[in-house]
Chains A and B, each alone.
Chain A
């Protein structure tokens, strides 16, 4: 190539960023951040992104609420304090001294149940997501790192799982268990998430199999298992993290939907937002607030996770890298 051309390319890159007023890219120049890793530069950008900050704030508050719930709640969630006020005419005890949000249909303190409900909701969401992640990890890693016909078969099954609408799939799985319970809820939701993670992992694995550092490891004779765990998996973490955050949001919402349909723990002594929402539908006409509060909480938390997930995704996008 003409030296003028080579120089032109370099100047092109510089001029383009100069015209845009941005930082100088890696066109042979060290960036201002001193050549950070993808995660490093992502964090720098995230710190200043209001979308991420709001999402992270909501998420952190939610987690703290869940952890310290018993300390924060004024009463416990099972004692039927106000049962005497529950009559066919007034099924919901109104707001009164000591019980700012009144009671529920069993006379228990609504506010306390709301606060304590964050725990169960978080647990259900996290467990379902982790289970889905683990399942997807196994499938995706197998498909991606072995490749060949194993890959084809596994991905066909994944495609089929994706071809069913999520709720239908969840219901189908839930039917297999005789009696609904917390665990059927978690398993049903996680099965829906498995194909998403599997696809993600497998795609990431395939891209990396062809990458230089993996080829180098293979050339050096590193054992395939070691390659998978030490070289390929860590690099796949970014998109997986993003997906997990988004999945957590949908898991919470799906838990609510399934509870609404009658899946989930019939014993409602331990509070959970989805369950509370499901049971509140019958009383909606008389006392909408019994539904609004848990719904509002679900919306806010799901919103927070979604904001965080979306901004994470944008931050980790290699195209945005400086």
Chain B
């Protein structure tokens, strides 16, 4: 198993290297040149010259790459010009990270809690009404653009019914104490339960919208996997032992059927960021997705740079973690 992990680690490093090269190329290809794009139009010639020096624009490419790399490693991505003018891009990223992580976390939980049982029962009652109905539902879930779903939810539940808030992370009149910047957690830690509850209310609609795509994918994979496992010989053996239905479902069917689902979750994280960009915009939720959308439409290249880099790193890390988790869970790999 150790060999497996080491190999995956090396692969991840290689991917990161290629990503960094591509990023560097991208940065140099931005319209207006790297200096203008990072500083905006109103920078003074002095600032420009300083940045030129930092970026080493007068030096050969490999050296420039080296500067770029060392800047990146130090978290030096420049300053935001539009999204939050004056703030260091890296700091902006760190500020907004908990918001999106919290949202994604709830979205994945919602997706798992609904998709896995549904997938299991759809497979168990293969060909029945539940099966056909939920498959159609999952196809629709993929076909509806996430931002449209977000809008519909917002319209029905926030604007028309007034059940849930329209936008943001927290009601402005609530003065909550910040500990970790994960609002729900913070409320629990400081015993300000109304703050937690308020944060949850703000999370419900965007989380549901965001969960729609992972839901569809996880459902279909669970269903296909369970269908396959139900036909396996070892399930028949378990039945022949007279084991209870509960044990067969948990130990024999699900433990095998859910293995592919674990891998899928890793892939879904990338999709979550895509969905987050759209969902956060609709709900004016101050997370990374919203920052990305704004940075893009307003050409805030520093922010774009840090976000894209972090997205790539994050995605590679999460997939590495998932692979490692899979190696631990599946005894066939663990005991090689």
Given the interface pairs A284-B155, A288-B155, the reply to whether A298 lies near B274 with Cβ below 8 Å is no
Residues of B within 8 A of A160 (CB): 15, 18-19, 22, 312
Of the four ranges (under 10, 10 to 19, 20 to 34, 35 or more), the interface on chain B belongs to: 35 or more
**Does B328 sit within 8 A of A, measured CB to CB?**
no
Distance in angstroms from B89 CB to nearest chain A CB is 15
Within 8 Å of chain A (Cβ to Cβ): is B278? yes
Q: Is the CB of A163 within 8 A of B145?
A: no
Question: B residues within 8 A CB of A16?
Answer: none
A163 B319 Cβ-Cβ under 8 A = yes
Contact A277 B315 (CB under 8 A): no
Contact B145 A176 (CB under 8 A): no
Quick check: B297 and A163 within 8 Å, CB to CB?
Answer: no
Q: CB within 8 Å of A: which of B1-42? A: 14-15, 18-19, 22, 26, 29-32
Question: Are A285 and B278 in touch, CB under 8 angstroms?
Answer: no
Q: Which of A236-257 contact B (CB under 8 A)?
A: 249, 253, 256-257
Q: Contact at B274–A165, with CB atoms within 8 Å?
A: yes
Contact (Cβ within 8 A) B292 A168? yes
Known: A171-B292, A261-B296. A163 touches B312 (CB 8 A): yes
Q: Check if B145 sits within 8 Å of A253, measured CB to CB.
A: yes
On chain A, the residues within 8 Å of B274 by CB distance are 165-168
Which residues of A lie under 8 Å from residue B307 when comparing CB positions? 168
Identity of the chain A residue whose Cβ is nearest the Cβ of B142 in the assembled complex: A306
CB of A291 closer than 8 Å to a CB of B:
yes
> A194-232: which residues lie under 8 A (CB-CB) from chain B?
none
Determine which of A164, A171, A256 lies in contact with B296 in the assembled complex, contact meaning CB atoms within 8 Å: A171
A176 touches B29 (CB 8 A): yes
Q: Across the interface, name the chain B residue whose C-beta is closest to A246.
A: B142
- 7 nearest A-B pairs in the assembled complex, by CB-CB distance: A167-B274, A178-B31, A302-B143, A165-B270, A303-B143, A262-B297, A165-B274
A-B contact pairs, 22 of them (CB 8 A): A156-B18, A163-B316, A165-B272, A167-B273, A168-B277, A168-B311, A176-B30, A253-B143, A253-B145, A257-B146, A260-B145, A260-B281, A261-B281, A262-B296, A262-B297, A263-B296, A277-B148, A285-B159, A295-B144, A295-B145, A298-B148, A299-B143
Q: List A residues at the B interface (Cβ < 8 Å).
A: 156-157, 159-160, 163-168, 171-172, 174-178, 249, 253, 256-257, 260-263, 277, 281, 284-285, 288, 291, 295, 298-299, 302-303, 306-307, 310
